[in-house]
Amino acid sequence: MTTAITRDDVLHLAQLSNLQLADDEVESLRSDLTNILDYVTQLSELDTHGVEPTYQVTDLENVTREDVVFEPTVTREQLLETAPDCAQNQIKVPKVL
């Protein structure tokens, strides 16, 4: 299986990833992504029929804690201070539409 990534694929992936790429980034990403996907495609050789996937390696299951309210260590004001733009105790963003 060879994986040819086109310029359009790069732009589609950029859109899925919320990245507004500059024009000069597209070609180098196209070539890098093609090479990386070519490399990882070797996994298709491996017979995994009937094998369960692993998603985590903690050995832990159903970790619970007391259902109690605890005092937050960070205040609303401190969090708002890290925001690039605020107004009326809210984070401000440009128009959505």
Partner 1 sequence: MTVIADYAGKSALENVKAAIEAAKQNNEYNAILSFSEERALERAAKVDSGEITGKLAGIPFVAKDNFLAVGTTTTAASHFLEHFTAPLQATAIERLEAEGAICIGKANLDAFAHGGSTENSAFGPTKNAGDQTRVSGGSSGGSAVVTALGIVPFAIGTDTGGSIRQPASFNGVIGVKPTYGTVSRYGVVAMASSTDTIGCFTNSAADAEMIMDIMAGRDTSDMTTLPDFFKPVEVKANQKIGIIKEFMTDDVDEDVRARVSDYVEKLKAAGHTVTEVSMPILRYALAMYYIIVPAEISSNLARYDGVRYGRRADSSNLSELYGKSRDEGFMAENKRRIMIGSYVLSSGFFDAYYLQAQKARTLLINAFNELFDTYDVLVGPVSPTPAFKIGENASDPIKMYLADIMTVPASLAGLPAISVPAGQTSDGLPVGVQLIGQRRSDAQLLALAGSLEGDA
Contact residues: partner 1, CB under 8 A: 1, 10, 13-14, 16-22, 25, 28-29, 32-33, 35-37, 39-44, 46, 48, 51-60, 63, 65, 73-75, 78-79, 81-85, 91, 93-97
Question: Is-contact 44 69, C-beta < 8 A?
Answer: no
Cα 42 from Cα 45, distance rounded (Å): 6
Nearest approach, Cβ of residue 71 and partner 1 (Å)? 13
Residue closer to partner 1, measured from CB, 69 or 96: 96
Gyration radius (Cα) of the chain, Å = 23
Cα 58 from Cα 56, distance rounded (Å): 6
Nearest approach, Cβ of residue 7 and partner 1 (Å)? 13
